[in-house]
Amino acid sequence: MTTSARRRPRPSSPSPGTSPPSSAPTAASRRPRPARPPRKENDDDQARSRHRYQAHRSARHFRLPRRPIHPRDHRRRSPPLALPRRRARRFVVHRPAAHVRRAHRPGRHRQDRAASPPPDRGPARLRPRLRSRRRSRRRLSDAPESPVHHERKATMTKPAPATTTKPTDLRATFGFHAVPFTREIATDDHLRLPFLDDALAGLLSTVEARMSAALIAPAGTGKTALLRRLRSGLPEARYHVHYVKVTGLSKRDMCREIAVACGAQPAGSYPMLVRRLQERFETTAHNEGRRPVLVLDESHELSPDVLGMLRILTNFDMDSRLVLSLVIAGQSPLRSLLARDDQEAMARRIAHYAQLRLLSRDELAQYVAHRCAVAGSARVPFDDRTLDALFEIGRGNLRATDDLALKSLDYAATAGHTTVSVQHVIAARKDLWP
């Protein structure tokens, strides 16, 4: 069947005088179309359909490969090839040798320059580059050194001037085998002054009686040094001394510090802390057979509540047993704190009050000679005038005297003197106090 036969006839448009055809189906349009004969599949169609089925079946079981756990290293790209550098043309100007050149004649250079044309030196754009290349090709060894560079090189290679400062080692200058006037001094090497021995004897007798004592003295008069002598004077087989230097705390924090020093297990609440401390002291007294001694340094910073807590620590079995000996040491404000009305109960529990004072003029000279002898010197590097200056400036304070004497020795050793003068003491005073 041809194409023209398959197409339906196009309906003609109605004429203006006629009516349009009706849209009702006719008998001819109701007739079914003839069925198209089935298409016979050849071998190529069967092979194509089989190939599509197999491709669809295999696509269902296709899985992408797993990614590696560790990513592969990126491939290193090779650097781009360097293009060959284009060499510039060199313009060489041939000049005659030195022995062939004409002798210089004054007044002829202008005429020669006007008469002869200038030599061909090449394009102007290549001249700076040619000049730089010639300068870079010049050997450094052949080039003459400028006088400035020569002077700078000579200055750099000149050896450093020798130091003219003299040694400041006190041991080499004054014959000491140790640095004098420091806090590092053994207890047996302390100076035995009468008022110091009396204060120590009073503290020892009070502790042996299982009572409490107080040591009140100004700053720098040797309170801590006397407490060290007290601890060394109590035999370890009979006494267990606990030293606490942390003050200015609350009641609970102070109990924790005492518990750490005594080896007691700290607790969270304040009543439990006090109970465990008392149990620890009783264990030391009865099971170990040693008397507990609690030493509190810098006690002038204690609050009234802490002093009340210390009074409770010394109360055992309704205040009928003496178990703990308390020694408090501090500066002059401690006396005012114990003199308060609310601290009368604590002040009555203290059985002995020891006091320290400043050194006199003779005691200071004896103290300086003793410290020099302890450091290993066979002589005293301070004359009488220097000792008077030490007393006038330090006012007999042990700590101030130590600092002032040590600084004066340093100044004298720096100046190369074997004896300290008054000027050295005055200079040391300016560096020590504002």
- Distance CA(1)–CA(8), nearest Å, equals 13
Residue 5 domain-assigned? no
Residue 90 domain-assigned? no
Residues 364, 261, single domain; the answer is no
Cβ pair 211, 352 in contact under 8 A: yes
DSSP structure class, residue 220: T
379-385 long-range contacts, CB within 8 A, separation 24+? 379/175, 381/174, 381/409, 381/412, 381/418, 381/419, 381/420, 382/408, 382/419, 382/420, 383/419, 383/420, 383/421, 385/421, 385/422
Residues 325, 198, single domain; the answer is yes
For 45-60, b/e burial (b = at least 16 CB within 10 A) is eeeeeeeeeeeeeeee
The gap from C-alpha 209 to its chain's centroid, in whole angstroms, comes to 50
Tokens for 175, please give them.
Answer: 């014959």
Instruction: Domain of residue 374: give its range.
Output: 170-183+360-432
Residues 199, 247, single domain; the answer is yes
Residues 411, 425, single domain; the answer is yes
Residues 262, 389, single domain; the answer is no
Residues 199, 348, single domain; the answer is yes
Residues 393, 343, single domain; the answer is no
In a structure prediction context, what are the per-residue pLDDT tens digits for the chain, which is 434 residues long?
A: 444 445 555 555 555 545 555 555 555 556 666 666 666 656 667 777 776 767 666 655 555 566 655 555 555 566 666 556 666 555 555 555 555 455 555 555 555 555 556 666 655 555 555 454 555 454 544 545 555 444 544 444 444 444 434 445 777 888 898 899 999 999 999 999 999 999 999 999 999 999 999 999 999 999 999 999 999 999 999 999 999 987 788 888 999 999 999 988 878 788 899 999 999 999 999 888 899 999 999 999 999 999 989 999 998 988 888 999 999 999 999 999 999 999 999 999 999 999 999 999 999 999 999 999 999 988 999 999 999 999 999 999 999 999 999 999 999 999 889 999 999 999 999 988 75
Residue 120's pLDDT is 63
Residue 214 domain-assigned? yes
Query: How big is the chain, counted in residues?
Result: 434
Neighbour tally for 32: CB within 10 Å: 5
Residue 387 domain-assigned? yes
- 295 strand-pairing partners: 243, 327
Distances (CA, A) of 323 to 124, 210, 231: 110, 7, 18
Residue 122 domain-assigned? no
396-399 long-range contacts, CB within 8 A, separation 24+? 396/358, 396/359, 396/360, 396/361, 396/363, 396/364, 397/218, 397/220, 397/221, 397/358, 397/359, 398/220, 398/221, 398/222, 398/225, 398/359, 398/367, 399/219, 399/220
- The CATH number assigned to the domain holding 424 equals 1.10.8.60
- Distance CA(260)–CA(278), nearest Å, equals 14
Residue 339 domain-assigned? yes
- Distance CA(356)–CA(199), nearest Å, equals 7
- The CATH number assigned to the domain holding 226 equals 3.40.50.300
Cβ pair 305, 315 in contact under 8 A: no
| Contact partners, residue 176, CB within 8 Å, separation at least 6 | 170, 372, 375, 376, 377
Neighbour tally for 419: CB within 10 Å: 13
Residues 281, 377, single domain; the answer is no
Residues 255, 401, single domain; the answer is no
Residues 273, 347, single domain; the answer is yes
Q: Report yes or no on whether pTM surpasses 0.95.
A: no
Residues 314, 329, single domain; the answer is yes
Of 326, 355, 384, the domain-final residue: 355
Which residue carries 């510090």 as its tokens?
Answer: 257
Residues 375, 406, single domain; the answer is yes
Phi and psi (nearest 5°) for 325? Answer: -105, 130
Of 320, 355, 390, the domain-final residue: 355
Residue 277's pLDDT is 92
| Contact partners, residue 168, CB within 8 Å, separation at least 6 | 410, 413, 414
Of 319, 340, 355, the domain-final residue: 355
Nearest to 390 by CA among 357, 429, 433, 434: 429
| Contact partners, residue 216, CB within 8 Å, separation at least 6 | 329, 330, 331, 332, 334, 335, 353, 354, 355, 356
SS3 392: helix
Query: Helix/strand/coil (H, E, C) string of 34-81?
Result: CCCCCCCCCHHHHHHHHHHHHHHHHHHCCCCCCCCCCCCCCCCCCCCC
Residue 121's pLDDT is 61
Residue 131 domain-assigned? no
Residue 315 domain-assigned? yes
> How many separate domains does the chain show?
2
